[in-house]
Structure 1
Amino acid sequence: MKIKHIIWDWNGTLLDDLDVSMAALNEVLKSEQLPLVLDKEEYRQYFQFPVIKYYEKVGFDFAKTPFDVLAKRYMDYYQPHSFACPLHEGAIELLKDCREKGIHQSLLSAAKLDFLFRQIDHYGIRSYFEHICGLDNIHAHSKAELAKAFVSKNHFDRSCTVFIGDSVHDYEVASYAGCRCILIANGHEHISKLEACATPVLKDINELKKLLSAV
């Protein structure tokens, strides 16, 4: 596998924010007097993009409380608490290894761009990325169009460009942009759903590091 450019996902892929994301979800569920999601595997089964579909699956009634209101409540909890999240084990070492190999790296996220920059700067890793792309809202609908335009604008060789993420949507985004994808199964989406995608699925960052060491 020849790789010239890696386009990283952020939440769940480099940032280990599963626990805080579950806590934020449960705060909103509690506010709506709905059953909490207490098991990580249950959460991973629910999770999907667009996030509005995932909200429907856990039981929110948008006729009672609009999605925009629920999303803001979620972010009101998630954003301040997210700065206590660690990066996944081995993440910084892998970013460093890729840079030393001459692999170009970018970050493309469904997160709101201004907050994404705050998170990246908090961890002191902005210098590893040549480009950082995010959305202009908190609704995490899709990053497919953003990805396709980004790859085209920068004239990347699609055969040597790999998206790395933790969700089915990351696979869909990579396919839409005409690139390859590697999925990591210790993020937000259940491994059974990832394995239904026609792409490699790895256990964690350390397994990814072994794969990329041969590049």
Structure 2
Amino acid sequence: MRSEFSAFWSLALQISPQSLCFSTMLALGDYEHIIWDWNGTLLNDCELCVDVMNGILTRRSMPRLSIDDYRANFNFPVRDYYEWLGFHEDDTFEDVSHEFIDGMTLRKLEPPLHHGVAKLLRQLHDQLVDQVILSAHKQDTLEVIVQHYGISHYFDHIIGLDNIYAEGKTENGLAHFATLPHEPHEILLIGDTLHDAEVAKAMEVDCLLVAHGHQSEERLKQAGYPIIHSFDQIDIHGAQSITH
């Protein structure tokens, strides 16, 4: 079941950027529980991912990757993305997966949070909105990184994976949803990929996509959910009912 706000939001998207900003303000005030993706959504790590992968490609004398190419082709399951890069054998997939994760782990504290993240999380926390992280990042590393940025206290749960292949996010989302007292229309998932949209659809909750992460706006449009370009477009102060 979709919320009344979702229909209003879809209409606002067809009117103007100003309507988008206004409707987004209303949305976050109406949700009881917000599920955040981590990589690309809260953490600005797209350039780091490309840099680490380019190191792997260079060592194998393979063509390097641009940011635009990456955002146009990165996908879940990540095996499909690796095949697009030119890695086709299972043993190569295993090797590259470990090499990539090792490179990312060494530099895990380099990327910054996206602009406005800390302020937005604090505002939602102050309004008693439940917040969790649902990520395809490995659990133990995820907890260390979130703690490093000083924002872990804003989240009721930090939910990562037990593998390095980004497999199981949907299942974790459904398991988390089963523990919640909220109706689907009271829950919003915010992410930066089509996979996040798939997770939201599986959970039957509302979804907001941000086009500042790992997939381009053109690709995100395929999901049919509202899209923003930065958290500057969100202002939860004075959030009111959608009838205003």
Q: Work out whether the TM-score is over 0.5.
A: yes
- 3-state SS, counterpart of residue 178 of structure 2: helix
- 3-state SS, counterpart of residue 82 of structure 1: coil
Runs (5+) with no aligned partner, structure 1: none
Cα separation, partners in 2 of 1:10 and 1:176, compared to 1, 3 Å: same
Matches within 5 A, 1:1-215: 1=27, 2-37=30-65, 39-62=66-89, 65-207=91-233, 209-210=234-235, 212-213=236-237, 214=239
* Superposed structure 1 runs of 4+ greater than 6 Å apart: none
Query: Size of the alignment, in residue pairs?
Result: 211
Cα deviation for residue 155 of structure 1 reads 3.2
- 3-state SS, counterpart of residue 175 of structure 1: helix
Do 1:166 and 1:189's aligned partners in 2 also have CA atoms closer than 8 Å?
A: yes
Corresponding letter in the other structure for 1:28? I
Runs (5+) with no aligned partner, structure 2: 1-26
Cα deviation for residue 60 of structure 1 reads 1.4
Cα deviation for residue 62 of structure 1 reads 1.7
Corresponding letter in the other structure for 1:41? D
Cα deviation for residue 68 of structure 1 reads 1.5
* TM-score computed with the length of structure 2 as normaliser: 0.83
Deviation per residue, 1:124-149 (Å, 9 max, x gap): 11100001101101111241111011
Alignment RMSD (CA, Å): 1.3
Cα deviation for residue 187 of structure 1 reads 0.3
Cα deviation for residue 32 of structure 1 reads 2.4
Do 1:18 and 1:188's aligned partners in 2 also have CA atoms closer than 8 Å?
A: yes
Corresponding letter in the other structure for 1:55? Y
Between the aligned residues of both structures, percent identity stands at 35
Cα deviation for residue 59 of structure 1 reads 1.4
Q: Distance in 1 between matches of 2:196 and 2:223?
A: 10
Cα deviation for residue 123 of structure 1 reads 0.7
Do 1:24 and 1:75's aligned partners in 2 also have CA atoms closer than 8 Å?
A: no
